[in-house]
Structure formats: structure tokens, C-alpha cells
């Protein structure tokens, strides 16, 4: 509490507000400002919601960006902070890039977002996939653009990835699905072509894009 008894503005630990090119999802290739919540062992700076909003205003006056990305750490674990920062108004559309594991918290911020992106690896268990699909359904109900960015890890099977595509379509026919193999895999493994043929037979909005590596690309 403040000395006069009013609640202090919410604050959060951020790993920075870098500018970079979005590396995954339907906005891949876009120049963005990344509001990155700090993860474990990351160097962090404390921001108040007002300080973040002021910094976003300052940065967007100095250069041209497509949008703002809320990402890193566990963004919806900081819902109060996000709401306080965005409700005052920011100059660009905002996307939330997260793992979709807090669908109950999404309701509090959904009206402030232009895109809800659920990033998955293909290794999630059934409960985690179910929560991710609930996130997509909620975004669809609120008529906010929504997407799944699949970044395969640990060599998930083709069938496993295809099942996620099926579930994403069942959650919302408007879900954009973008699958990101490594550049090396995409250029050398023609099985991705056969997989995409199967995937687009399930859901019309599926794309394959190689991952844009850091430091140019960021997620």
C-alpha cells in the first residue's frame, strides 16, 4: 500500500523491451516491440504499468513497428500488470504469445488484444492440449484473432502434430496454424511436404515456415 492507503500500481519483472522480427506465428516477419516477462534465471528490470506504457509510447514515436508482443515467462501470471499497462491505451495492436495454460485468466485481457497466439511444441500432454484449446475457443467467442504456432521439439510424430491441427480446428475453424520446423529440416526433409498435404486436408489454414533464428528473430 502507498503511504496514503491507496494500492500501489502493479509492477512486474521484465527481461526487456527489445525490438526484433517476430520469428513464429501468423505475424512472422513483422517488426515488433517485445514486452518480455522474465523467466527463471533471466536478468530482469522492475517496471510499473505506467512506466511500461510510457516506454512503449516513447519507442513507437522513435521508429515504426507493426505491433507489440506480450511474451516470455508466464504472461498471464501477471494479468493485473498487463491490464493496468494496456487499459491506458497503447499506440499499436497487441498480441499475446503464450502457452495457453491459463484460459481462465485470458478473459481479463482479451478485450485489449488483437491476436492470441498459443505456442506449442507437440510434446504437451492431453491436459495441457485441452487447456490450450480452451484458450482458442475463448478467443473465438470474443471474436479476437487466434493462432497456434507449432515449434516441434523432441521429434514429435507426424500423427501427433496432425492431431493438434485437428483439435485446433475443432476448437475454432478460424484458428490459423503455423508450423515451424528448423530451416535445415525444412530444406532437407521432403516429408514436410507430405505432412502439409495431410494437414491442409484436415484444416485449410495451415502453413509451414522455417524458424527465423536469433538475434534477428524473436519469439
4 located within any domain: no
State the total domains in the chain: 1
Answer whether 131's CB lies under 8 Å from 103's CB: yes
Answer whether 69's CB lies under 8 Å from 37's CB: no
Q: Is the pLDDT of residue 1 over 50?
A: no
CATH classification of the domain holding 48 = 3.20.20.70
Nearest CA among 114, 123, 122 for reference residue 147: 114
- Answer positive or negative: Cα dihedral of 119, 133, 74, 107: positive
Task: For residue 143, give its domain range.
Answer: 11-218
Answer whether 151's CB lies under 8 Å from 24's CB: yes
101 located within any domain: yes
Q: Return the SS3 of 45.
A: strand
* pTM for this predicted structure: 0.93
Neighbours of 111 (CB within 10 A): 11
- For 154-205, what is each residue's pLDDT tens digit? 788 999 999 999 999 999 999 999 999 987 887 777 899 999 999 999 999 9
**Sequence-distant (≥ 6) Cβ neighbours of residue 49 within 8 angstroms:** 9, 10, 11, 12, 81, 84, 85, 88
Beta bridge partners of 19: 33
2 located within any domain: no
93 located within any domain: yes
- For 5-15, what is each residue's pLDDT tens digit? 556 668 999 99
Amino acid at each position: 500500500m502507498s503511504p496514503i492507503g491507496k494500492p500501489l500500481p502493479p509492477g512486474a519483472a521484465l527481461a526487456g523491451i527489445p525490438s526484433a522480427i517476430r520469428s513464429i506465428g501468423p505475424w512472422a516477419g513483422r517488426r515488433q516491440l517485445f514486452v518480455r516477462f522474465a523467466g527463471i534465471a533471466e536478468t530482469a528490470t522492475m517496471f510499473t504499468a505506467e512506466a511500461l506504457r510510457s516506454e512503449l509510447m516513447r519507442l513507437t514515436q522513435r521508429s515504426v513497428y507493426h505491433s507489440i508482443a506480450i511474451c516470455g515467462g508466464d504472461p498471464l501470471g501477471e494479468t493485473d500488470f498487463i491490464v493496468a499497462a494496456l487499459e491506458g491505451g497503447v499506440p499499436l495492436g497487441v498480441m499475446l504469445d503464450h502457452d495457453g495454460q491459463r484460459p481462465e485468466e485470458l478473459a481479463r485481457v482479451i478485450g485489449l488484444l488483437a491476436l492470441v497466439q498459443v505456442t506449442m511444441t507437440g510434446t504437451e500432454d492431453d491436459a495441457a492440449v485441452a487447456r490450450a484449446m480452451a484458450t482458442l475457443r475463448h478467443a473465438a467467442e470474443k471474436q479476437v484473432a487466434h493462432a497456434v504456432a507449432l515449434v516441434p521439439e523432441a521429434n514429435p510424430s507426424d500423427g501427433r502434430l496432425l492431431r493438434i491441427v485437428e483439435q485446433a480446428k475443432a476448437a475454432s475453424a478460424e484458428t490459423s496454424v503455423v508450423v515451424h520446423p528448423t530451416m535445415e529440416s525444412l530444406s532437407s526433409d521432403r516429408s514436410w511436404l507430405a505432412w502439409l498435404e495431410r494437414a491442409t486436408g484436415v484444416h485449410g489454414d495451415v502453413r509451414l515456415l522455417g524458424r527465423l533464428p536469433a538475434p534477428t528473430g524473436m519469439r
